[in-house]
Structure 1
């Protein structure tokens, strides 16, 4: 698939906005020097020409940036509040977001079931922090409109994770859709990040072994001295559908396929499905029984803080949690035991825990150290399972109808997303599991994923 960029626009807020340096919380600066990538596909917008579509997007983007002005800013380096070292600050200078107009020689039918592949990279603007451009020159939001030969279009977004988490990104996209469709803003973002005590010190004492709690050296494959060889291996993404009966089967059966009635029914779908994914990954990767393995996931803390953060808090209000396990035990023990480990870790994310984590990261001082502490290698033998079910990512209507498919962009080994099923899914029914594994492991993962359920 060939994609040709026709032109690029810098879109600035349509009205003057607050300007200055916005302090970032410690959670904004932990392992988030990356861009979240999302792709939406639409059939032919019958009432709008390509010129009308790009004009509408530019106009409505300039309007929504008035409210979400951090996305029109740039990052900059500053001195860490704890003294010494460097930190990131958000320079709200109104320099603007980027919108790219492109066209492809392909048709939507060429993409089949829209399973992510290397060609999808051409549909999302290429921006990252690892290039030659200095940070103050890199936009924090970039979008790309691509017109296909059949008349269909895609919208690909690259969005800085430093600025916002998944909840904030979804809030931004759907308020943009509201304005593009001629509707008013439904709720304004909450920008005061001091609620997470940015630049302040907590009086609470850190739990024992703070570094062991908040910093996790990822396990390696037994016999290897680094994860470099695992990082270099080719990966592939597979999207698997879990029907409502299959989810119920997971929640109502034990490790040996016997009905266990209420044993797993008290656990959430996320806890049970994630336990199942972890087990299937250990099998597919052919781990030795004694192989250590980590499972990481993030927990939204908005309603876990005391007092709670506003639902519209715009920033990173998530914290990463890591569970340690041994492959042989994960495979052999009842699924409820694995789900219980996940439940206990989620329940452990309290306001006190978050404040202690913030203190721990603040005391590290330098943002580079924070990035290293907050970055988890999720490749073999480890795993990351992120829950997107609660995020309103589906149904993005910018004036020409809802998408026919939404696809997250991810290509890292061990990176798994649980998504609502946009095709006939009702949020409480079927789900999608978008799993990225090494090419040598993906087929076995797919096999065990359904085989273990069918054997229940």
Structure 2
């Protein structure tokens, strides 16, 4: 697919906004600190293209008045830390065109063409202080439809906050008023404050993850070619998995397992099988947990920033594969349930006490020169089940598809609702290409095994 006529500009807030340095919480500065891409496809606009672009730019400018951190820039400070310079430098807005038509979305999902529809970030050569925190690309297709590629810095917004921004931008684009202003005070997560007393918790999530037992490092695994797939589970298949997990475990836990616990357990087991691990192979599962409702008092519903922590479930591939699905689901539940207000503050204190916080960022090197890598024998499963991912109507109707953008790290996966609204789920998964065929086969085959 050829995408041409790319032109870019900076869109700045329509009115003056607060300016100055904004302290970031430790949850903002660790884990994934790159931009996170999503993409929306729209069937057709009844208006001319010039009007569409002008409407999107004008409404974006108005929306940035309220979400002004997205118009700022990051800067590095002492201790490998970051701060947010609210300077209204603006969001990067790109227009593009392709002769291709949106006649078969399945042929686009997932696909390398996303790299042409979502603007990328060159972290190696660009100065940190010059990288826009919000980059967008609107691409017109030959049929009159268009795509909207959105790339937002994870330092500034997690999934909940990013979707809040998109929802309000769409509302303003339709000519409506802002519905829910963002809550921008990050001091609720003690941004800029010193650490407090030590905690009873240990934080294994910040340790280097397991590697394959016959290797001395993870470099070879991280270099292997990956593939991406979208796997659908019908509502019937989801319920079948939940019944399997609950069998023999429900009485111990007091309640049935959630969809996330069950499907994630199934993904973990399938990955261990498809990767053909030895029984004694250690394996880790990274779980991303929203802490907004776990804090005491809870964070404001529209807290804008990162309100998530990573927790790690561990085991040996032999037990993950041989034990019942409920056993694996229980491992996941135990990790999720330990995350409460005390635990979150413990994470904050642990990170505040570190001399160099950059060591805990994705793609940062560890002290022995290796990069933290969560691929084989490990994986991460992120839930989008509670996020309002669908329904972004900018004035020309709701999207015909929304999904994650480029998704090419071995072991990364997402669980999201199907747009059909029939209770079915979609799993977006990246694995090494040599494991993908076995994974697909086992993923569905094992659902029917009693």
TM-score normalized by the length of structure 2? 0.94
| Structure 2 match to 1:93 | 87
| Structure 1 match to 2:111 | 117
For 2:354, which of 350, 364, 378 is the aligned residue?
A: 364
> Deviation string for 1:422-441 (max 9, x for gaps)?
1x125xx1111111111111
For 1:419, which of 416, 419, 423 is the aligned residue?
A: 416
Say which SS state the counterpart of residue 237 (structure 2) adopts.
helix
| Structure 2 match to 1:393 | 389
8 Å CA contact 1:115–1:237 kept in 2: the answer is: no
In the alignment, the residues of structure 1 paired with residue 198 and residue 2 of structure 2 have an alpha-carbon distance, to the nearest angstrom, of 56
Give the superposition deviation at 1:32: 2.6
| Structure 1 match to 2:259 | 269
| Structure 1 match to 2:34 | 34
Residue 262 and residue 297 in structure 1: after superposition, are their counterparts in 2 closer, same or farther (change >3 A)? closer
In the alignment, the residues of structure 1 paired with residue 160 and residue 331 of structure 2 have an alpha-carbon distance, to the nearest angstrom, of 25
Give the superposition deviation at 1:204: 4.0
Do residues 216 (structure 1) and 207 (structure 2) align? yes
Do residues 172 (structure 1) and 165 (structure 2) align? yes
Give the superposition deviation at 1:201: 3.4
Do residues 55 (structure 1) and 54 (structure 2) align? yes
Say which SS state the counterpart of residue 397 (structure 1) adopts.
coil
8 Å CA contact 2:206–2:360 kept in 1: the answer is: no
For 1:408, which of 404, 411, 416 is the aligned residue?
A: 404
8 Å CA contact 1:364–1:370 kept in 2: the answer is: no
8 Å CA contact 1:180–1:398 kept in 2: the answer is: yes
TM-score normalized by the length of structure 1? 0.93
Give the superposition deviation at 1:454: 2.4
Number of equivalences: 441
> Deviation string for 1:203-250 (max 9, x for gaps)?
443225x4x534221111121111111111111111111111111100
| Structure 2 match to 1:82 | none
Residue 201 and residue 6 in structure 1: after superposition, are their counterparts in 2 closer, same or farther (change >3 A)? closer
Give the superposition deviation at 1:16: 0.4
In the alignment, the residues of structure 1 paired with residue 315 and residue 35 of structure 2 have an alpha-carbon distance, to the nearest angstrom, of 29
**372-381 or 108-117, larger mean C-alpha shift:** 372-381
| Structure 2 match to 1:300 | 290
Task: Give matches, 1:50-449, under 5 Å.
Answer: 50-79=49-78, 85-109=79-103, 111-128=105-122, 130-207=123-200, 210=202, 212-253=203-244, 262=250, 266-371=256-361, 372=364, 377-409=373-405, 410-422=407-419, 424-426=420-422, 429-449=423-443
**30-39 or 169-178, larger mean C-alpha shift:** 30-39
In structure 2, runs of 5+ residues without a counterpart are none
In the alignment, the residues of structure 1 paired with residue 337 and residue 70 of structure 2 have an alpha-carbon distance, to the nearest angstrom, of 33
Cα root mean square deviation, aligned: 1.8
> Deviation string for 1:31-59 (max 9, x for gaps)?
232111001111122x2111111111100
8 Å CA contact 1:71–1:141 kept in 2: the answer is: yes
In the alignment, the residues of structure 2 paired with residue 373 and residue 172 of structure 1 have an alpha-carbon distance, to the nearest angstrom, of 32
Say which SS state the counterpart of residue 252 (structure 1) adopts.
helix
In the alignment, the residues of structure 1 paired with residue 97 and residue 187 of structure 2 have an alpha-carbon distance, to the nearest angstrom, of 43
In the alignment, the residues of structure 1 paired with residue 99 and residue 377 of structure 2 have an alpha-carbon distance, to the nearest angstrom, of 39
